[in-house]
Amino acid sequence: AQTRRDIPSAVDFLEAALSADPDNRNLMRRTFMLTAMEGNIEKALPLANRIVAQAPAAPIANMVLIVAAIRDGKFAAGRERLVALPKDEGMNTFMVPLLGAWILVGLGDMDGALEALKPLNVNKGFKAMFDLHTALINEMAGHSAIAIEAYEKTIEKPGSLSLRLVELLGSLYERT
């Protein structure tokens, strides 16, 4: 089912296999990944917790738990989990600053959030992400002129123009 890209059927199969062998780490990891890929985060959360209990630095399981904490308004819990992760490994190189910034937004620290994004500005590959999230945070903070400038910088970058970005900037133009 997985090779045919029938993710729901693959998840059903893996869940049945996992229920027969609940301590099988490989089955747990595969079930978690496909469940998360399917977008069923509520179903993935218990698996993420089990994975992190066995492998505390598991990046994707931790990210799912952090995003769930942010979604639920549990910013301090999300931050506690986030700061425990290695900052310079794999996807953590961009996810730690990005999620850290949005946790600080949730805590009401807009200046801290902008500061938390700065590591993204160092890596050329993350520059568009830095500019976009700088714009979003400045917009939320009520700094419209700075947000417009950041959106425009993002739009000017080759390959970064998207309909969503144009919608964000157009919406801000309408409100200012």
pTM: 0.82
Query: Measured between alpha carbons, how far is 118 from 112 in angstroms, rounded to an integer?
Result: 10
The secondary structure of 109-174 as a DSSP string is: -HHHHHHHHHHHHHSGGGHHHHHHHHHHHHHHTT-HHHHHHHHHHHHHSTT---HHHHHHHHHHHH
Catalogue the E-assigned strands of 3-129.
Answer: none
For helices 59-71 and 41-54, the axis angle rounded to 10 degrees is: 130
pLDDT in tens, the chain (176 residues): 566 677 778 888 889 998 999 999 999 999 999 999 888 899 999 999 999 999 998 989 999 999 999 999 999 999 999 998 888 888 889 999 999 999 999 999 999 999 999 999 998 888 888 989 999 999 999 999 999 998 888 888 777 678 888 888 888 888 88
Token output for 38: 């399917």
